[in-house]
Structure 1
């Protein structure tokens, strides 16, 4: 039975981050993956979805060239975008991905890893031991208990990108990030799309107003969105799938279930190690450590922040805590802001609190909002839909930011930095932004906040006194 400095179970973003960092520090690392290196993100999620979105975007651009004064004589045809997606995945998952394991031992495709005790893991009949074990096994799609859903062929992110053809009609259950991104991607590639969800706006985890802007864009593109809709049953007849709801019956060739994620913890046999968990995931503290000393759970499997970047960051935090001998200097998860983005057109991005969350917390706040339609660069680009909305106060403290519009996923990081390091609105206003970048919208928000402050009797009197 071989002993390692670290054992890492699961080679998604979190597990790969731990493995790469630890092995680079010359620690003896055992990496275990039961299926594909890269996890859901690389193989079934973030990366293939972006490739498909890009294919849809290219088709949409050619269909709208006249908006830019260009006359295109001809017609584009959707040929093999899903094949192209798989080709790109093959490029990414090759030598570049495997480079992370040059200094580690890798057990691949030998079955599930399971705990024997708090220091021992068994894979394929062999046992391995370590005082530091990192669980990074991720999640799988959650399929809601809708009558009939188990009896019809259905798509999730696990098999979505393995299709040979773009479906003529697609019903999507769920209006979150995956549902919204795939609705637009397949619509732009020729599918007739119905999005059905129980929530009252698209991207329900985010700002309602941002969700409404996205819905307006979807409607303009011919995507039908049904909010506040309950599904009564699903059935298949003569090769057609019928989704029965309280707002009518929808027929389609395929259905995509995009209703969230759930951890799969049973194969780990966590009870053998005494690790606490529930249906949401493995219980961890701020250091990403479980109730058992030396066992960490990072990424989606702990249910804290179901984002690939959060998973990688948690892996880094956990490893830094594991090798740090100073008990008073530990890295805590909640000290770091977790942004998220949805890569539709327009994009949606969030950092910190939404307006609704600020209200629920009873924060004395003010809203500063800058619309894309009021800025020369976005008018020139033909990208006038959207806004930057910041939750702040009279002192310029920043509680949260919502962005919907072109490049929202890039603009959001300035607000992440500001929230995490308590940078005030005044500081952002005094930071020069290159003109005419889209990111100058962030500075315009800060300028608007300052204009409101100077529009007071005291400020005006002060200015008159010294001029």
Structure 2
């Protein structure tokens, strides 16, 4: 049996794992990374990147369909469009493949040794990897667990056949005529919106009182309106009872119904991947389903770190990346702690939603007086020129010193402003800082300046 030794072993080459390994390599740390599948993890291969590719294709198709129907607001007309979903998926796969090669190249450039296979702990310093060429033992001074998460399935609706997860949905080669989506969170609505634009008759079922319950109602109203315009049926406060003869059995208000569905997309959340890699061999302290960590991502076992989805919410790639970079620097001897002022969250629906920091309700719980400024995109010139008038930007700040506590927005293409929102909070900006910054005109970014001015009591364009 082959044996290798290293200073740092990273288990999982998702966003958190590969960033950790690359940064460690840059710092001169002898690093090994183990991954059973392709580098990039869920995000790159079957999540963030491929879903955005499908969303873009759906947007293009929907725009062409509007033009063909004579509904183009800018006066363009075309013949009736058609989509070859197999070709779309091939294009998506090409993008994923290029990024896979990019990650592999970056790991190699950082002199990180990559081992493909399934890792399992023997003890806190020793891992056995099942590779194609046989078992390999890796002994490490430090280990980073970055195993990520997997989709949750329901007992009455297990995956298989026509019941699919987002993974299978992103590889369909034919647009389903009818699609039932179980779960009204961001994954279900992002994909549901895309398939509705591609021509599927989509029904969304959720037990919650409204869609996207993690966001406040004001942010989700434009999304709900757009779903209705696309012909998507939304059934809230509805339970799924199971699948029978190609129909989904649901219960609403005590009455059972049957929904015809060629495919059933199950998106009721994700759970940390804590099985299959030997957690029982090292007996780490847990925080519910997640591995418990401190502000340095240290677990209860010395020299063992954990990052990303396996450590809890928010389950976001950029959180994992930030943690991975930090852990690499800690192993290198740097003094670091994970103390982010804000981690942005984005829902790539139509329109998109961005939240950073505290919402108005969350800020009120601090007991402080607040200043809240809202600026609608219907008063923004650039938004009008791209037919993106639905939505707004909202700034939440303390009233005593105008320190910005949170920024939320809903609008077309608003995800591209997330970095500016995050930087505002991370730098400790006040309303006067935003208001006093010269924003380029005409851009949607002007809306944050106007929202700050509104909070200060002297908005210009509203």
TM-score (norm 2): 0.91
Match of 1:135 among 135, 145, 167: 145
Gaps of 5+ in 2: none
Give distance in 1, aligned partners of 2:120 and 2:164: 29
Name whichever of 31-40 and 244-253 sits farther off. 244-253
Change (3 A) 1:453 1:251: closer
Q: Give yes or no for contact 2:371–2:402 (8 Å, CA) kept in 1.
A: no
Give distance in 1, aligned partners of 2:160 and 2:224: 31
Name whichever of 300-309 and 65-74 sits farther off. 65-74
Match of 2:94 among 87, 91, 94: 87
How far apart are residue 122 of structure 1 and its match? 1.1
Superposed counterparts of 1:300-339, under 5 Å? 300-324=309-333, 330-339=335-344
1:284 is matched with: 293
How far apart are residue 106 of structure 1 and its match? 1.1
Name whichever of 63-72 and 136-145 sits farther off. 63-72
Match of 1:154 among 144, 159, 163: 163
How far apart are residue 436 of structure 1 and its match? 0.7
Per the alignment, in what secondary structure is the counterpart of residue 11 of structure 1? Answer: coil
Q: Give yes or no for contact 1:170–1:255 (8 Å, CA) kept in 2.
A: yes
Does residue 257 in structure 1 map to residue 257 in structure 2?
A: no
2:19 is matched with: 17
Change (3 A) 1:150 1:382: closer
Q: Give yes or no for contact 1:5–1:29 (8 Å, CA) kept in 2.
A: yes
How many residue pairs are counted as aligned between the two chains? 443
Name whichever of 243-252 and 286-295 sits farther off. 243-252
Does residue 234 in structure 1 map to residue 242 in structure 2?
A: yes
Change (3 A) 1:151 1:136: closer
Q: Give yes or no for contact 2:31–2:112 (8 Å, CA) kept in 1.
A: yes
How far apart are residue 385 of structure 1 and its match? 0.2
Q: Give yes or no for contact 1:83–1:164 (8 Å, CA) kept in 2.
A: no
Q: Give yes or no for contact 1:241–1:255 (8 Å, CA) kept in 2.
A: no
Does residue 349 in structure 1 map to residue 354 in structure 2?
A: yes
How far apart are residue 37 of structure 1 and its match? 1.4
Does residue 267 in structure 1 map to residue 269 in structure 2?
A: no
Give distance in 1, aligned partners of 2:28 and 2:205: 50
Match of 1:368 among 373, 376, 379: 373
1:176 is matched with: 185
Q: Give yes or no for contact 1:289–1:295 (8 Å, CA) kept in 2.
A: yes
Deviation readout 1:47-75 (Å, 9 max, x if unpaired): 11001001100011112344333242411
Give distance in 2, aligned partners of 1:363 and 1:195: 38
1:105 is matched with: 113
Deviation readout 1:31-54 (Å, 9 max, x if unpaired): 100122111001110011001001
How far apart are residue 358 of structure 1 and its match? 2.4
Does residue 431 in structure 1 map to residue 440 in structure 2?
A: no
Change (3 A) 1:207 1:148: closer
Per the alignment, in what secondary structure is the counterpart of residue 299 of structure 2? Answer: coil
Gaps of 5+ in 1: 455-467
Q: Give yes or no for contact 2:64–2:78 (8 Å, CA) kept in 1.
A: no
Alpha carbon RMSD of aligned pairs, Å? 2.0
Give distance in 1, aligned partners of 2:397 and 2:459: 13
